[in-house]
Chains A and B, each alone.
Chain A
Amino acid sequence: MPSESRAVGPWPTWPPGYGAGDEDRRALFVLSALRGISPRNLIPIAVERGSAVATLGWIREGHAGSENDQAFARGLDPDAIARAAEACGSRLVTWTSAEYPSQLRQIPDPPGAIYLTGRAPPDVTSAVAVVGARRCTASGREAADRIGRGLALAGLTVVSGAARGIDAASHEGALSVRGSTLAVLGSGLDVAYPSASRGLIARIGRSGTLVSEYAPGTPPSQHHFPARNRIVAGLCRATVVVEGAKGSGSLITAEHAMEFGRDVVAVAGSVTSALSEVPLQLIREGATLIRDVEDLLDDLGVEIVPAEVAERLELDDAERRILDGIAEPTLPDRLASSLGVAISEVVGVLMRLELRGFVRNVGGRYETTLKARAQRDEDSERSARGTPDRATSRTGTPTPSSRLAAIDER
C-alpha cells in the first residue's frame, strides 16, 4: 500500500507569500467570509494579483465575484471577524503559515487559509479519514466505532466530518480511548452543525482539533459539504468508507482521495443492503477491502500498544449455542424452536449477550456484533495454539487477537 502522496500537481495554486504579513492576514479574514466565491475562482485572481490584499482589492473594485460578494467585501470589517475567531478559540492559519498542513498544499483548490482550534493538525502519515452514511445501521456504527478506537490506539488521528451516524461513531471511538481526532466542519467553527452533534463538536474542540475554511458565523450551506469533504480527504493518507447509500457524500470524499492519490479503503457489507452501495462500488474500482479494524491496522502497517488486558468472561454453554445459532438477523422464536429451549430462557440469554456487546436487537431480531466475531476468531486461534495466554504471545509481541482485546476492553 503506497502511502507517499503525489507531488504538487500541474494545477494552479496560491502564489508564494499569499497571506504573509499582517495586511494580508486581515484581507484573508474578509475573503474567508465571502459566500459566493470559492478557492477555485480565487486562485487565478490571486496568481495574477500576487497577494491577498490585492485580490481583495480587485474584488472590491468590482472586477470579480458576484455583486453581493463585492458589496460584502467592501463592507466587512476584518477586525470584527478576527475578534469572532478569537472568541470561539480559533486561530487563522494561512497558506504561508508553518502550521498550514503541508498535505493540503498538494491538492487542487486548497483553502487559502483555515480556521483551527485545539491541537495542530497531524501530518499526512498519521491521519486517516473515516466517513460514511448519516443514517447508518447499528453494525455500521459499531464498525466505525471500532475503527476509531483502533486508529486512535495506534496513535493515528481520526479525521471526519462530525455528522450523525458513521462520522460521529468514528470520532466517539477515538475519544473513548482518549485518542486524537479532527473534525472538518462545513460551517463557521462557532456554528455547531448539525445540532445533534453539538456536544460531540464541543468535546472534539476541547481534546482534538476542529478545522473549517469558513469564517466564524458562516451558516452551513449545501455546497459547503462537498467542499469540506475535499479537506477531509486531503488531510489524510487514507480514507475509510464504512457505509453509504447511492449518491451519498462519502462517495465524494472517496473520489477526492483517489484524485489526490491517497488510499481508499472500504468496509465490506452485504450485497443486498442499500448502504453497501458505495463501499462495494469502491471495492470494484480498486479500493482495499476490510472486514474489521484488524484488517485496516494490518494494511496500514501500524500496531496498537496493548495495555493490560483484563481477564475476560468466558461464554457459558447456553450462550455459546445461542450465539452460534445466529447467522443472520434471527427471531428469538426461531432460536427457541431450533435449539429446543424455552422462549423465556432464550430471551434471558440474548439479554446477557446484548449487555456484553455480543449481539444486538434490530427491530425485534438479533444479530451478532463484530465484537462477537472477533471473540470467536480469537477463541479458535487460542484453541489452535493450545495456550490459555491470549493477551500476548511468549515473545511479548502483540498478536492480532491481543490488539482486538485492547479495542474491546477500553
Chain B
Amino acid sequence: MYGRVNGVTVVGVRGHLVAVEAHVGRGLPSLTITGLPGAGVQDARDRIRPAVESARLEWPLRRVVVNLSPGTVRKEGPGLDLPVAMGVLAATAQVPAAALGGWAFAGELSLRGGLVPTPGMLSVAIAAARAGLRGVVVPAENAAEAALVDDLEVVGAASLAEVVGFLRGTWRPAAPQMPGRREDTKHAVDLAEVRGQAQARRALEVAAAGGHNLLMVGPPGAGKTMLARRLATILPTMSRDESLEVTQLHSVAGLLDGGLIHARPFRSPHHTVSPAALLGGGTAYVRPGEVSLAHHGVLFLDEFTEFRRDAVEGLRQPLEDGRVVVTRMVGSAVFPARFTLVAAANPCPCGFAGDPVRRCICRDDRLQTYQAKLTGPLLDRVDIRLVIPRLTRRELLGGQPGETSSSVRERVERARSLQRRRYAPLGFPSNAQLPGPVARREARISPDARELLASAVDLHALTGRGFDRTLKVARTIADLAGADLVEPDHVVEALAYRSASPVPELERAV
C-alpha cells in the first residue's frame, strides 16, 4: 500500500519541495523515515502516531516506511510532521488519493492531533507557488503569512482532523484574513521626539539617504540608542518585495506574528551575543541570525567595543555581500543580510574623555588599547563617524523640537531615487555600496570641491581610505540638496562626519 504527498523543507530561507512517499507493508509495527532526515524530522516519528490516533484515525499496525525525496537535501524542521502523517493516511486509503495532488502540506503536529504554529510557512508557500501547485495546507495561525503569496490557495487548519475533513469534503476552511493589505508603516518612535542633537539628527538623515553605516561615540546617557532606533524610521519605505523578504526571514526565525511586515526592522543584540546568534547558525535547525533579522533595516551594536572579536569579524561578510552563508557539514544555508550598521561606543573606558565637566581617569595605555578597538577592518566600512556629547541641562532645554520622521523620510526617498537612477546601469543601490574606485569615477564632483578634498588630505585630516568615505558621504549630501555636482559645501559637511575620537591625539588612525 503506497501513498504520496508533497511537503516542503526550508533550507536557509528557501523552501524545497519534498516528495513524501509512504509504504505500509508486512512486518512488526514500526515507522522508519529514510531520505536524509535531520534530527528534527527523526524526532517526529514518535509524535505522528499519537497525533493520528487522537484525530480518530487509524494507525496501521504494520511496518511503515516513509521516504523523503530528493535524498540529496537534508530535511530539517518540524514542518514535515503533517506531510508524513498525510502520506501514511494516503497509503492506508483513509484520505482520497485523488484529492492530494496539487497541494503541499506543512506544519507541526501535537500529540492531541492539533496543528501548531510553525516557522517558515511563508517560505513553504513561496516554494509551492514556484512549483506550480494549487495551494498549501498550513496551521491556521500561519495562514495569513502564507496568503501573502499571490495565485496560491491557502488552507489554514487547526488540526489533523480538519485537514482530513477538507480532503474528504466534509470541512471547509475559513478564508484567511488579509492583514497584509493595509499600508501600515507606523513606527513606535519618531525623530521628532529627539530634543537638541541637531547635528546628530542631520547625520542620521545623511546616513539614511546614502545607506551609510554609522559609528557614534559618546558618554553613557548621551542618547545614542535613542538616535539609532530612529534611523529605521527615516529610511525609505520598504517596497513590497523588500517587505516579503523581511517577513520571510522573520517567519523562518519563528518571530512572525501576523502578516506582512511594513516597518523596517531595528535589531539591537546585546554585546554578549554569540557569533551563531549574530550571524545565523545552530546545530539542528539553522536559524537566521540578528544580521538577517535586521535585513533591510538597522543593526544596532551598542557597546561596540565589548562585542566578541569573532562575532565582530563575522560581520565583514554580510557588510560586503549583503548575505550570510552558514556552512554545515551537510550543506550550507544562505540568509540575506543587507542592513545599515549603527555602532555605538563610549569615548573611553571610564566614559568621560572629552567631557567638559568630568575629567577622564583612564590610564594612557588603556586609552590607547580602547581607541585601537575603534579602528580596524570592520570600522573601515563605516562612512559616518560622530561624536555625541552629553548635553547639559541648559543645552537640552534650549534644543529645538525636531522634524518628524515622515518629513525627513521624504527627502531621503528623493535622494535615494536620484542614486538609483544614476547607478542603475552599475547595479549599486546607493552611494555607500560603491567601491572606492567606482565612487571616484562616478561621484560627479566639481573642480573646487575636488581641490578642497585634496587639501584636506594634505592637512593630514584625511587618509586615502578616508578620502573615499568622505567623497561618498559628500555625494549623498549633494543628493539630499538635489545638486548634480558635489560642491565644496557638501565636502566640508562630509568632512565633519569623519572623526570619532574625542581625544584628538589618538585620532590619527581614523
CB distance from B222 to the nearest CB of A (A): 8
Question: With A134-B364, A334-B395 in contact, do A364 and B196 touch (Cβ < 8 Å)?
Answer: no
Task: With CB as the reference atom, state the residue of chain B lying closest to A329.
Answer: B356
Question: With A348-B496, A363-B353, A364-B354 in contact, do A333 and B459 touch (Cβ < 8 Å)?
Answer: no
Contact B496 A347 (CB under 8 A): yes
Q: Scan residues 459-510 of chain B and give those whose CB is less than 8 A from a CB of chain A.
A: 459, 461, 477, 489, 492-493, 495-496, 499, 502, 504-505
Contact B492 A348 (CB under 8 A): yes
Tell which of B356, B493, B504 touches A351, judged by Cβ atoms closer than 8 Å.
B493
Question: With A331-B199, A332-B198, A333-B198 in contact, do A362 and B492 touch (Cβ < 8 Å)?
Answer: no
Flag whether A125 is at the interface (Cβ < 8 A): no
Flag whether A171 is at the interface (Cβ < 8 A): no
Interface residue count for B (Cβ, 8 Å)?
37
CB distance from A171 to the nearest CB of B (A): 14
Question: With A362-B502, A364-B387 in contact, do A351 and B495 touch (Cβ < 8 Å)?
Answer: yes
Flag whether B456 is at the interface (Cβ < 8 A): yes
Q: How far is the CA of A349 from the CA of B400 in the complex (A)?
A: 20
Flag whether A164 is at the interface (Cβ < 8 A): yes
Flag whether A385 is at the interface (Cβ < 8 A): no
Contact B502 A352 (CB under 8 A): no
Q: How far is the CA of A331 from the CA of B359 in the complex (A)?
A: 19
Contact B354 A348 (CB under 8 A): no
Q: Which of B201, B387, B388 has the most CB of A within 10 A?
A: B387
Q: Scan residues 294-347 of chain A and give those whose CB is less than 8 A from a CB of chain B.
A: 329, 331-334, 336-337, 343-345, 347
Contact A361 B461 (CB under 8 A): no
Flag whether A80 is at the interface (Cβ < 8 A): no
Flag whether A350 is at the interface (Cβ < 8 A): yes
Instruction: Specify which chain B residues have a CB less than 8 angstroms from the CB of A134 in the assembled complex.
Output: 364
Contact B356 A355 (CB under 8 A): no
Flag whether A365 is at the interface (Cβ < 8 A): yes
Q: How far is the CA of A120 from the CA of B124 in the complex (A)?
A: 85
CB distance from B386 to the nearest CB of A (A): 8
Q: Which of B218, B461, B477, B505 has the most CB of A within 10 A?
A: B505
Tell which of B199, B354, B477 touches A362, judged by Cβ atoms closer than 8 Å.
B354
Contact B504 A365 (CB under 8 A): no
Task: With CB as the reference atom, state the residue of chain A lying closest to B455.
Answer: A355
Flag whether A40 is at the interface (Cβ < 8 A): no
Contact A355 B198 (CB under 8 A): no
Q: How far is the CA of A21 from the CA of B129 in the complex (A)?
A: 103
Q: How far is the CA of A352 from the CA of B34 in the complex (A)?
A: 71
Q: How far is the CA of A343 from the CA of B199 in the complex (A)?
A: 6
CB pairs A–B below 8 angstroms (14 shown):
A135-B360, A135-B364, A331-B391, A333-B199, A344-B202, A344-B493, A345-B489, A347-B199, A348-B489, A355-B461, A362-B504, A363-B354, A363-B356, A364-B502
Q: Which 9 A-B pairs have the closest CB atoms?
A: A363-B354, A364-B389, A363-B502, A333-B198, A364-B387, A348-B492, A351-B492, A348-B493, A343-B198
